[in-house]
């Protein structure tokens, strides 16, 4: 079974914020206190509720 991730990865954690009513999507750096489905204010487009749709880590040093 694969134990470790490939190579020494430098990870950057991102938070994806989406609107419940329209297709507004915003990506920002992760802040402590964020969790998936947390409500984080209103949409600048149609004032609908914004929620955190996902939190993920991106590799910065990919040599592809």
Partner 1 sequence: MSLIIVLAQASSQGSQNGAALAFSYIFYIFFIALLALSFFPGVQQKTQIMFLSRDVEQKLQMIENYLKDSKSITEKLLKEKGFPDPKAFLDRVIDRFVIDPVSIEPTDIINRMKLLMRSNEDTVREMIMSANPNLDPMTRSQIEISAEVVNALNLIFKVIRHYLIMAKKLNSIMIMYQLQMVAPIYVKYAEAYSKAQKVFLQGIPIGDGLGPLVASKFLMKSSQKFTVSKDTIAGTLEFEGRKLVVVKAEGPMATVGTPGEGVQNVIEREGGKVSRIITVDAALKLEGEETGTIAEGMGVAMGDPGPEKIAIERVAVKYGIPIDAVIVKMSMEEAITEMRKEVYQAADKVIDYVKRIILERTKPGSTVVLVGVGNTAGIAQ
Binding site for partner 1 (CB under 8 A): 1-5, 11, 13, 30, 32-38, 54-59
Q: Alpha-carbon distance 20 to 24, whole Å?
A: 9
Q: Which does 45 bind (CB under 5 to 8 A by kind): Zn ion, partner 1, none?
A: Zn ion
Nearest to 24 by CA among 41, 5, 7, 6: 41
Under 8 Å between Cβ of 17 and 54: no
Q: Which does 58 bind (CB under 5 to 8 A by kind): partner 1, Zn ion, none?
A: partner 1
Q: What 3-state DSSP class applies to 39?
A: strand
**22 lines the binding site for Zn ion (CB under 5 A):** yes
Q: How far is the CB of 44 from partner 1 (least distance, A)?
A: 21
Judged by the rule CB under 5 A, the positions of this chain that interact with Zn ion are: 19, 21-22, 24, 43, 45-46, 48
């Amino acid at each position: 079974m694969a134990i470790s991730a490939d190579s020494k990865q430098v990870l950057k954690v991102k938070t994806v914020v989406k609107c419940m009513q329209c297709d507004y999507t915003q990506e920002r750096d992760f802040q402590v206190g964020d969790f998936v489905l947390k409500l984080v204010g209103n949409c600048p487009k149609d004032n609908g509720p914004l929620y955190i749709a996902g939190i993920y880590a991106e590799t910065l040093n990919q040599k592809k």
